[in-house]
């Protein structure tokens, strides 16, 4: 169900971007051609086109899918947090010599010179 909502959310998101980009701006409407604002030609709100109604519907669907994904993620997060995590392993002890102390590296072992 979560995967289905994510796929639907992505489709709605891309559709919303597409619908917004194909709409013309306010300045490109017919009222701007006569020197006035576009809102004075069609009234105070302007014309409600099919694209503006489609944009509103897709924005509402986008909000619904966003809210449902947030709810699903909270529910899924509580399941993940109840999983037991294995304890960390104890540190590995350092090797000791026959006297019981830690082995010290030989300072001259790495500096062999050929003379």
> Which residues lie below 8 Å from residue 102, measured CB to CB, with a gap of 6+?
94, 95, 96
Higher pLDDT, 96 or 44: 96
Q: What is the pLDDT of residue 61?
A: 96
Retrieve residue 108's tokens. 């001259």
* Domain boundaries along the sequence of the chain: 1-14+57-71
pLDDT of residue 89: 74
pLDDT tens readout for residues 30-75: 555 565 555 555 555 555 688 889 999 999 999 999 999 999 888 8
User: Tell me, what's the pLDDT at 95?
Assistant: 66
Would you call 46 exposed, middle or buried from its count of C-beta atoms within 10 A (0-12, 13-18, 19+)? middle
pTM over 0.95? The answer is: no
């Amino acid at each position: 169900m979560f995967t289905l909502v994510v796929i639907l959310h992505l489709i709605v998101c891309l559709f919303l971007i597409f619908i917004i980009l194909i709409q013309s701006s306010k300045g490109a409407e017919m009222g701007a051609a006569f020197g006035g604002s576009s809102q004075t030609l069609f009234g105070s709100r302007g014309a409600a086109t099919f694209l503006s109604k489609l944009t509103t519907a897709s924005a509402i669907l986008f909000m619904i899918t966003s809210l449902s994904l947030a709810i699903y993620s909270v529910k899924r997060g509580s399941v993940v947090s109840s999983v037991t995590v294995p304890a960390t392993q104890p540190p590995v002890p350092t090797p000791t010599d026959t006297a019981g102390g830690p082995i010290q590296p030989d300072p001259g072992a790495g500096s062999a010179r050929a003379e």
